[in-house]
Amino acid sequence: RGLDEATADAAIDRGFASVAAIHRLMSFHEPGSELSRLNREAASRKVAVDPRTLEVLRLSVTVAEASAGVFDPTIAPWLVAWEYLPSPADAPLPQAGATWRDIDLDDDGVRYRRPLWIDLGGIAKGYAVDAAFEAMALPPEVEACVDAGGDLRVQGPRPQRVVLNAPAQQPEALPLLELTDGAVASSTGFAARRRHERRWVSPHLHGGRRRPAPVERFASVVAPRCAVADALTKVALAAGPDAAATYRHFDATAHLFSQGIGWHTVGRLA
């Protein structure tokens, strides 16, 4: 709201083009993506990458360090074993013990200290939302929203209401957020849960312990940037309230729901 139709359509087209570019660069599923090339080649040589890929990798390492490894972009082997991701073609098998600490980054490119598989599914969608906003280049008085399905960013003079749609709850019992000029990401493993070797798993796990996150937990994280909010939902699902210092480090607030415990809020606004 607040733009003429032609200008708004052009801005929206720029936003969609930016999201498509992020997908082409960072998709784990696409063999031709830049991320897939890294998983094939970066253990044997330094690989030059697009500045956007490098920015997401740097943020991933920053979140991994701040969370003591709860967030770790090198968890892809577990997601492949649990059949949430395809096995990457022609990539060397990951070495046991490889973690985010084995990713070397500089302005010239990316090198893995040992074979590993990176998946950016826990952060790249949020980054794409931020990139869409940057590409649209909207005046601050324009009201706008980019919603990528669980990853949301808004701007404008009026607050936007967001339902925290925790699993197995009555609609009338669900809380609401009011969001102004910020981002929120929400995630749960409940709908995607499955049995693997007699335990429940989901697409989320504790990076340091390499164990599934509780599948019944729901997390919504509010942060200035959607990429940060997206990454911190993975921390919230795996570590819950124990990661309060991590949320505060990024000026973020986590709203958590667990069966039998209910709602609680930790982080900046708690």
Tell me the per-residue pLDDT of 55-86, one tens digit each, with 9 for 90 and over: 999 999 999 999 999 999 999 999 999 999 99
Closest by CA to 74, choosing from 50, 96, 98, is: 98
Cβ-proximal residues to 173 (8 Å cutoff; 6+ apart), any chain: none
pLDDT for 117: 98
The pTM is what? 0.95
The DSSP element (H or E) to which 82 belongs, if any, is: none
Residue 72 has, within 13 A of its CA and on its CB side, a CA count of 27
Cα angle, residue 149 at apex, residues 143 and 153 outer, rounded to 5°:
30
Alpha carbon separation from 159 to 12, 85, 98, 202 (Å, rounded): 21, 37, 43, 33
| Edge-to-edge order in the sheet of strand 144-147 | 144-147, 151-155, 182-188, 218-223, 253-258, 262-267
Task: Map tokens 């074979």 to a residue.
Answer: 115
Q: Which of 212, 232, 205, 210 is nearest to 220 (CA)?
A: 232
pLDDT digits (tens, 9 = 90+) for 28-44: 999 999 999 999 999 99
How far is residue 244 from each of residues 151, 183, 268, measured CA to CA in Å? Answer: 21, 18, 8
Residues in the chain with pLDDT values less than 70: 270
pLDDT at residue number 40: 98
- How far, in Å, are 105, 123, 135 from residue 20 at the CA level? 24, 15, 12
pLDDT, residue 100, reads 98
Number of Cβ within a 10 Å radius of residue 32? 8
